[in-house]
Amino acid sequence: MNVENGFLVECADEKAKDLVSRWLSHSYPVPPTRLILRIEVGTVGATPTGFHEVFRQPETVFFVAPGDILRIEWESRPAFALLDKGYAASVTLSPEAADDLESATTTFFAAVVMMLFRRVGWHHLHAAMLEDPSGRGWLMAGNSASGKSTTTAFLNACGWGVGGDDGCFLSRKKAGLVVRPVRKKIALRPGGQKLLSVLGGEENLRRGKREFSVDELRGARLEIAVPEIVAFLSVEGSKTTIERVAGSEVLSEFVRWSAWVALEPVFAQDHLEMLAGLGRQADCYRLRLATDLFDHPDLLLEATT
C-alpha cells in the first residue's frame, strides 16, 4: 500500500507500486476525494462477453457493460482496468505490461486516472492551461498540429504562468469554474525548438519531440486558474488573427476532440453541463497562429483587452 498526492496505490509488486505512485504525485493535482488504484500482475484474457466497444484512442480502447461497468484495455501490451461508479480502479497487468510501465503511464494509466477523476466531478480537457500577465486564465485548445505546445512554451518564456500544454481538469468552485493542470513536460517538435531557440530538454523518441520543464523555459508554474479566455488554435496564413466566436462553440469543439466526454451517462451530463458553463463564463476566440506572434508577444493581450 502506498499513498501519494491523494492517491492510494495497492500493489504487491513493489517496483510497479513505487513507479506508479511517483508518476501520480508528479503528474496530477490532489483530488478532493482519495482515488484508489488496485494493481495486480496476472493473466489477461480476451474481452469478456457483455462488454461492447464505445470509444477508441491511440493505444487504449474503452468498453462498457450493463451496470455502468467501464473496461479500459491497453492495446500495446495485455492489460485492462475495471471501474464502476466508485472511486477505485482495479488494474490487471500481464508480466509483459508490468515490464513496460514507463510506456503504460503515458497512455493506459493516464486514461484510467482521467476516468477516475471524473468520478469526483473533475473533468478532463485537451487544452493548454495558462495565465496571462494581467491574471486572466486561458485555455488554448486544438489538435496535435495546432501550435499548442510551441505557443505555450513561448508565452511561458514571456512571463505567462503555465499549468501544462496538453491537458487539465475542469471543476466547480463557489466563484465559478476552475482548471487544474496535468503536470507534463512541454513537448516540442524540431520546428518549435528552432523557432524558440531552446536547447536541452529530454528526447522522446516515440513522439519525435523533445520535452522541456517549465523551469527550463524560464517560466512560472501555474497550479489553478479561473478560465476567462478560451482560444481554439490553428496554424495558417502569414499573420496571426483572433476573432470572437459564440460561447456555444466551446461545447461542440471539446466534444469533437474528446468523444469520450459522452461516455458513461451517469457522468456525461455533468461533464457536458460544465463545458456549456465554460462557454458562458469565458470569452471565446478562434486564434489563427503565424510566426509574427513571436515578434509581437503582446499581440494576444492587445486583441483580447
* pLDDT band, residue 282 (cuts 50/70/90): very high
> Where is pLDDT greater, at 16 or 186?
16
Domain residues for the domain of 93 are 2-120
Instruction: Report, as an integer, the average pLDDT of 290-305.
Output: 88
pLDDT higher than threshold 90 for residue 189:
no
- Nearest residue to 165 (alpha-carbon basis) of 180, 182, 178, 179: 182
Instruction: Please say if the pLDDT value at position 74 is more than 80.
Output: yes
Q: How many domains, the chain?
A: 2
What is this structure's pTM? 0.88
Higher pLDDT, residue 250 or 4: 250
- Closest alpha carbon to 159 in 292, 297, 288: 297
The CATH number of whichever domain residue 152 belongs to comes to 3.40.50
Are 180 and 138 found together in one domain? yes
Q: What is the pLDDT of residues 214-268, one digit of tens each?
A: 666 666 788 999 999 999 998 887 899 999 999 888 888 888 777 788 889 889 9
The answer on 135 and 102 residing in a single domain is no
Identify the domain boundary among 102, 120, 138.
120
Among candidate residues 120, 137, 163, the one where a domain is terminated: 120
- Whether 36 has a pLDDT exceeding 90, the answer reads yes
**pLDDT value, residue 60:** 96
Question: 74 and 168: one domain?
Answer: no
Check residue 13 and give left, alpha or beta (phi > 0: left; psi -120 to 50: alpha).
Answer: beta
How distant, in Å, are the alpha carbons of 127, 191, 226 from that of 139? 6, 23, 10
Give the containing element (helix H, strand E) for 255.
helix 248-257
Residue-wise pLDDT for 89-134, tens only, equals: 999 999 999 999 989 998 999 999 999 999 999 999 989 999 999 9
Q: Which of 120, 154, 182 is the last residue of a domain?
A: 120
- Are 110 and 30 members of one domain? yes
Enter the C-alpha cell of residue 216: 527550463
Beta bridge partners of 90: 38, 82
